[in-house]
Structure 1
């Protein structure tokens, strides 16, 4: 099948959009002349800016019914040959159907009505990674390829703005930078703030690192809380844009954080990553990269995944100790730089 005009829908979060980039690469490689349009949630579009596999990014906002109808009308006028919906949700399924494309591919793991919106329903394996799941959505088009690494493209301007941010924060470029990311979309996916602080103190004392405490613009209080718990000086960094953060992460010797979009961004730019996992399974959501490690206790969290956890102080994230994280971090720091550089002050 020859495609000239293709729509991909991914209405999820930053990390989800980034993990979809191998599927976009495979689609463009199979149909290099096709125009590829991607609809994403507003706030995640920066992930795809500069991506050579994407011709157009359309940010979608949850607006009025009239605005939604205008969007549907625009989609129909575009006359897409095919729609690949990587979201597995009702809203995206409706947009797929309303586009009028003759080929509409999507998931329907819950067996809901949305399966009728597609001409082909793809079933993702229960233990597969999200990258392979998204790539599997291309099989009805005859595209069968293993999932590659997620990619994020940084411009010279992104790099410059990252350097300006580090300079404004007082970060010394002659010292090693470690990023700690204490935030998570849900509280039960987060390692305790006081443990991040203890880890930071140990990394500074034992390896002479500078510690940046990252987070979204809404996580400033959490970053300051971690800095307040620590005995050493930590540097909160919660006002960076997505690409700014990515460029800063590229300059770091190590990233340590919860399962989050920031974790996937750091891995995508080649930063060594330690991912801390609890209720989410790293077999499905783990970071992909050459230098990544995860700490995961493998507890069955299905009984209390949301909205609360019944294990209290024995919950899966609290079972990850500071010593366990420090041990993995020490190994990765030794691999990343000569020992003589780790104590540079």
Structure 2
């Protein structure tokens, strides 16, 4: 059986789609599964249980596919008609794409809106429910899981070998911009507390959005590890060997939850019941505005949960009154 999944988007969108691919793989263990999406992000699933190949959307999703009665090339026609099942997370309100795919011989087509619209269903569960239309069992809650290769784990072991004498090893993704970001000063204060008070070591996860603070972080943590988002499987493997992860409402937080590391995630206005990282050891601190979450409260929570060893189920903390605290934004 040949299955095509069309799922473009960011890291978090890839992670919440993994349970769907897991169900497909469970029912069709020998199937060839290809994904059209961002190769940089989908590498986390490529040749790692879920996906056999990745194709670029710019090449396969041609303009003619979006045009009513569009004339598709033989190459594109042969490509899409070769699949037994096409599952596409796209907006197709006039059913133009679906009709074009049917017209060129695609065998079974499922078109689904990319994201849930309500506040009562987690995105990972929503993404998988479309499979019920073809008779597959979907039993929420669903938890994304990343499968790492031996090469991924070997890289992580070598990367962390100079730091294994420290405990805890805490991976920190210091997102600071926008309504989902937290103050860089607060991240730095927690990093210093981890190293000076707990005797641990911080691992700083740096993507393009964090580059502006890289010099400041390095000046405060000259001997810490810095993990750049160049290749997601390697990032995931390092997170997997960490003792704890701290971050905000980002795709990397979803990735950390999916590898199984205990995580503490800070959430502002986004609804964590829909968009929170899904994992067996996830603790979400929720406030209506990010600046209301103070670093001393995060430290207390880390200690309360014994450096996350007692985080054994999905929790969203709101009992601290963070939603209603008054204060000025930093």
TM exceeds 0.5?
yes
Query: 1:102-141 residue pairs with structure 2 within 5 A?
Result: 102-108=107-113, 125-141=118-134
Q: How far, CA to CA, are the matches of 2:278 and 2:270 in structure 1? A: 15
CA RMSD of aligned residues (A): 3.1
Query: 1:55-94 residue pairs with structure 2 within 5 A?
Result: 55-61=52-58, 72-78=76-82, 80-86=83-89, 88-89=90-91
Query: 1:11-90 residue pairs with structure 2 within 5 A?
Result: 11-61=8-58, 72-78=76-82, 80-86=83-89, 88-89=90-91
Q: Deviations over 1:73-121 (max 9, x none)?
A: 453342x2332123x4469x866554332432223489xxxxxxxxxxx
Equivalenced residue count is 297
- Contact 2:175/2:209 (8 A) holds in 1: no
Q: Which runs of 5+ in 2 are unaligned?
A: 66-71, 311-330
Is 1:192 matched up with 2:189? no
Q: How far, CA to CA, are the matches of 1:19 and 1:164 in structure 2? A: 29
Is 1:287 matched up with 2:277? yes
Q: Which runs of 5+ in 1 are unaligned?
A: 111-122, 300-315, 338-345
Q: How far, CA to CA, are the matches of 1:146 and 1:136 in structure 2? A: 9
* Secondary structure, aligned partner of 1:47: coil
Q: How far, CA to CA, are the matches of 1:16 and 1:238 in structure 2? A: 20
Q: Which residue of 2 aligns with 1:144?
A: 137
Q: Which residue of 1 aligns with 2:242?
A: 252
So what's the TM-score if we normalise by structure 1? 0.75
Q: How far, CA to CA, are the matches of 1:231 and 1:215 in structure 2? A: 14
In structure 2, do the counterparts of structure 1 residues 187 and 271 end up closer, same or farther at CA, with 3 Å as the change threshold?
same
Q: Deviations over 1:33-54 (max 9, x none)?
A: 5432221223112111233243
So what's the TM-score if we normalise by structure 2? 0.78
Q: How far, CA to CA, are the matches of 1:317 and 1:57 in structure 2? A: 36
Q: How far, CA to CA, are the matches of 2:135 and 2:203 in structure 1? A: 45
Match of 1:326 among 291, 299, 306: 299
Is 1:180 matched up with 2:180? no
- Contact 1:223/1:236 (8 A) holds in 2: no
Shift of residue 65, structure 1, vs aligned partner: 5.9
Q: Which residue of 2 aligns with 1:336?
A: 309
